[in-house]
Amino acid sequence: MEPGNINFHTRKWVRPEDLNANGTLFGGSLLRWIDEEATIYAILQMGNGRVVTKLMSEINFVSSAQQGDLIEMGLRATKFGTTSLTMQAEVRNMITRSSILTIERIVFVNLDEHGRPAPHGYTEVTYDRDRLPKHHLPAGPPQPWPAAAPAA
Ligand SMILES: CC(C)(COP(=O)(O)OP(=O)(O)OC[C@H]1O[C@@H](n2cnc3c(N)ncnc32)[C@H](O)[C@@H]1OP(=O)(O)O)[C@@H](O)C(=O)NCCC(=O)NCCS
């Protein structure tokens, strides 16, 4: 993976609650962070607040991090499908610049108001906020969006 091609946005400070029993960064915390970061990226690229993680390919935990380390997460769109977006991810240590984790393929799917795959209509990455969703998602399971007003 070419680090230069990836945009690093979110940074994290490794805190005691993020550690495993060996005293190093817990992989589960890392995956939760990267999944959230990828979700935000997918929403901004596909212009829809209703997206889901479909697939994560092999996850390579290259090196560890310790309490107090600063880490940064990077993503790069690699393929715009009809209803999906595929991206690559890398997490690295900000101080040493060494790679902590790489994921070759994360696939997100754009959903309609019924929770079914829906075409997103995009073929290229945006670096602006021009696809930012304009509405809140209704709470609860999928329903028409924006939510229909309850019957009087
Ligand atoms: C996402 C979901 C609606 C897709 O359903 P599906 O029946 O696979 O839908 P489709 O076959 O129409 O595929 C939808 C897209 O995903 C892609 N896809 C499906 N399976 C895939 C796989 N194993 N690997 C890569 N891409 C895949 C398809 O190629 C298609 O993309 P495209 O339209 O850009 O070509 C369904 O699998 C689901 O609800 N999964 C659970 C998601 C979830 O809860 N995630 C965790 C929490 S966010």
pLDDT digits (tens, 9 = 90+) for 87-129: 999 999 998 889 999 999 999 999 999 999 999 999 999 999 9
Report CA(18)–ligand 1 centroid distance (Å): 30
Q: Is residue 15 part of a domain?
A: yes
Q: Is residue 126 part of a domain?
A: no
DSSP state of 40: H
The CATH number of the domain holding residue 55 is 3.10.129.10
Residue 35 lies in a domain: yes
Q: Please state the length of the chain.
A: 152
Pick from 37, 83, 103, 109 the residue to mutate for probing ligand 1's pocket: most ligand atoms within 8 Å of its CB.
109
Question: Is residue 24 a part of any domain in this protein?
Answer: yes
Ligand 1 mean position, distance from CA 124 (Å): 20
Q: 83: Cβ below 6 Å to ligand 1? A: yes
Ligand 1 within 6 A of CB of 62: no
- Please list the residues that pair with 111 across neighbouring strands: 117
Residue range of the domain that includes 75: 3-110
User: Band of the pLDDT at 4, cuts 50, 70, 90?
Assistant: very low
Q: Phi, psi at residue 102, to the nearest 5°?
A: -135, 145
Q: How far is CA 127 from CA 3, 138, 150, in A?
A: 18, 27, 38
Number of domains in the chain: 1
Please identify, by atom number, the ligand 1 atom nearest to the C-alpha of residue 116: 3
- pLDDT value at position 139? 77
The CA–CA distances, whole Å, from 47 to 14, 39, 41, 133, 141 equal: 31, 12, 10, 6, 20
Q: Is residue 59 part of a domain?
A: yes
Is residue 11 pLDDT above 70, yes or no?
A: yes
**Strand intervals (E) in 94-150:** 99-110
pTM: 0.90
DSSP letter at 83 equals S
In a domain, 103, yes or no: yes
Ligand 1 lined by 52 (C-beta under 6 Å): yes
